[in-house]
A and B are shown apart, each in its own frame.
Chain A
């Protein structure tokens, strides 16, 4: 199993450009998450999904959109990139049972995004 993969690993954008980050998991997990990690701060949840076709906002959703058209994929979009979105982005997935999300989260390797 590949686990959780992220594409791309690195990206440099100019202010105002758009891009999509792809997260894929092969563990048949229902729950998927997008986090950002900034220096001196803990991981912060951007958006999450509890199943195919469903998405919800996390702690810091502004400036991002997401889609979960297939169970194994979770896409994070930046419509108009800003320097404040320079960060490392992590995708994660987890199993759930009866809607109970409390299982370990499996993380992707991260995407380092710089917006100039």
Chain B
């Protein structure tokens, strides 16, 4: 089974720090998603990308197709960024059922 690996599993940082969460996958993909799961359990889609880089506010997502790797960056981190961040990929040739999810990175930002 193709895997999606995230690192680190857990990350605690101080407010204001630059945060990087990594995601790697094993074979070719057609798209990669970054999701945020709030402490209350709700899941929100942050980004969907298949190449290059996307930015939304303080969040930046990049993907390197050749290296099969993506990163999610948070600039000027804030306690409200505390959440679980989940990477998911759709492997090339996968249909509507094709998202494979990582186990998530649990981020805590301390004031």
Contacts and interface: CB of A to CB of B under 8 A. Distances in A.
B103 interface: yes
A74 interface: no
Contact of A45 (B43, B86, B97): B97
Interface residues on A, range: 20 to 34
Given A42-B101, A42-B102, A107-B44, A101 B33 contact: no
A101 B96 contact: yes
B11 interface: no
Please classify the interface of chain B as helix (H, G, I), strand (E, B), loop, or mixed, using the class held by over half of its residues: strand
B48 A42 contact: no
A45 B4 CA distance: 15
B86 A42 contact: yes
B13 interface: no
Given A105-B45, A110-B41, A42 B96 contact: no
Interface in B47-106: 48, 50, 86, 88, 90, 95-104
A35 to B, nearest CB: 8
12 contacts: A31-B96, A42-B100, A45-B97, A58-B97, A88-B41, A92-B43, A96-B96, A101-B95, A101-B96, A105-B45, A106-B45, A110-B42
